[in-house]
Structure 1
């Protein structure tokens, strides 16, 4: 009983999980998608992954060294950023563009805003959007089995038919890590079992997106169309690995649900009514920017300041 009555300064709730442990678990969870991407796209994919991860780690080390800050590359956050960025790149992309994106992710999005925990958007997605704007043609050129062609989402948007089984397995053109839903879900299940993420954000995101498709997609409850939209592009990778980023997502339970709904609506708007067949990256970035507002609205009020008695 004496332990229950002890008084100390905040934080009052502590967890044994460290930043390095969480980031290492994310790296392990990304391995299935990474391995599948390397098997499918061969040496070009492996080269981009190594270049992106190495550049992110080196950029973080050099910046902190020059600024006389504590070296934090041991927390694996730079590794996660480099790996996520690489998995969001087409395998045919020149290595030097991956270097530019990696430097932008760590230096501009992360370090210039104070480092891990202070960045206002997901560094990997911020860099991907920067590269999409700067190198549009190269970032939207995809190949599979040596043949360059449109992604299934582009075919779907133009009114064509797609093979949803190939999309789930990953036998399609796309970025290095987004093609195989099976590989992504293996990693997602691992994170859930390890207690790193829960279903609140990705579940709300995906359900909202499906409802949006049924209402505005023009196909009704067409399971083939819905499955193709879920399996195509970066939706699954984004929903499970980037929308759930601790730093750029809400901490309140209600806020996480609002955040997931916003993600689903924005992704639906971009995919159905925008010029591009994709839209996950921009949906997550915009939602990241709105997180402070979401938390301000959904943060419970303390009792005595308008809060309700439990």
Structure 2
């Protein structure tokens, strides 16, 4: 094998560069979200971003860290966007603020800052808020509600009363309710027909493939995540089609695509070895499906990620490649 010239150095990659590309990859999904569900998501992203930057600056000041260096790396903004995307688009502004503050202050800085947090900050925020405020975290615009931009902003900032008829369960909630009522689930995609969530999921898939192409993430985690979830969903669907949704529904419903490419791939709280990534992501996919179908929450990705975050040290320890020149003892 011949090399062109020396020195043979790896391409320079900074945190800012990585985070910028992650933000760019999220844009297609956010644009589809704003067009198909409503521009309330843009207000939520703005609230989350401002809160994250303020919290980041305050914690950096308390820890006597340089503000410009860490505020400019983009990590706080990525966390803010993920929190905003996973929260209901018409959630009250203070709920988004609470989630972002918990993600930045508690889940990130109280553990030592960027690179030290054992848990995914955005998923910590989601888990805390859905446990503490389950009603508010379940208020999504219902199909056919066609909320005007002004009305969405009124709900977000508390300028208008919330009407139960204008909010509804997510498709995953609707599916679970239908199955428990023994209404069955036939056809390829009855719940996703005309559903904006599937289009948004495909946009996140496109953004995730962009990250793989740019080598910001590797193929291991998305493949294992979606493969494990799809395999379990497919087996149960083939066994009892009337009792379980088909795998395409689960892959394009809820936060599967977002979780596979943007959440489980967090390099800090996830596994680091190639085999470890496969085990970690497969565990997330299986647990997320189990919580979705048999648990009390409509989507189990946040809890699945956090559970597998706990397992990361053990996974990495047993999947470390052999050191060159060393033999087993």
Task: Tell me if both proteins adopt one fold, taking TM over 0.5 as the criterion.
Answer: yes
- Per the alignment, residue 263 of structure 2 pairs with 242
Cα distance in 2 between the residues matched to 1:214 and 1:222: 12
Q: CA, structure 1 residues 90+273, in 2 after alignment: closer, same or farther (shift >3 Å)?
A: same
Q: CA RMSD in A?
A: 2.8
Question: In the alignment, which residue of structure 1 is the partner of 2:156?
Answer: none
Structure 1: runs of 5 or more not aligned:
7-11, 173-177
1:52 corresponds to which of 34, 42, 48: 48
1:224-303 → structure 2 map (5 Å cutoff): 225-303=246-324
Question: Does the 8 Å contact 2:236/2:244 carry over to 1?
Answer: no
Instruction: Measure, in 2, the Cα distance between the counterparts of 1:190 and 1:300.
Output: 28
Cα distance in 1, alignment partners of residues 231 and 241 from structure 2 = 10
Which is worse superposed, 127-136 or 156-165?
A: 156-165
Q: Equivalents in 1 of 2:51, 2:262: separation in Å?
A: 21
Q: Any idea what the Cα deviations from partners look like across 1:64-91, whole Å, max 9, x if unmatched?
A: 0132112201000001000011000101
Q: Secondary structure at the match of 1:278?
A: coil
TM (normalized to structure 1)?
Answer: 0.86
- Deviation of 1:221 (Å): 12
1:49, 1:101 → 2: CA distance?
12
- Where structure 2 has 5 or more consecutive residues not aligned to the other structure, the ranges are 146-165
Structure 1 residues 237 and 221: alpha-carbon distance in aligned structure 2, compared to 1, 3 A threshold? farther
After TM superposition, the score normalised by the length of structure 2 is 0.82
Q: Does 1:18 pair with 2:43?
A: no
**CA distance, structure 1, for counterparts of residue 320 and residue 192 of structure 2:** 39
Tell which deviates more after alignment, 213-222 or 65-74. Answer: 213-222
Q: 1:191 corresponds to which residue? A: 211
SS state at 1:198 partner = coil
SS in 2 for 1:42: coil
**In the aligned structure 1, how far is the partner of 2:216 from the partner of 2:324?**
30
Q: Distance in 2 between matches of 1:30 and 1:221?
A: 35
Give the C-alpha shift of residue 26 in structure 1: 0.2
Q: 2:196 aligns with which of 153, 171, 175?
A: 171
SS in 2 for 1:164: coil
- Give me the whole-angstrom Cα distance separating, in 2, the residues matched to 1:61 and 1:298: 37
Q: Distance in 2 between matches of 1:294 and 1:268?
A: 21
SS in 1 for 2:38: helix
Matched residues in 2 for 1:168 and 1:118: separation?
A: 43
1:76 to 74, 85, 89: 74
Counterpart CA distance in 2 for 1:222 and 1:307 is: 49
Residue in 1 that maps onto 2:89: 91
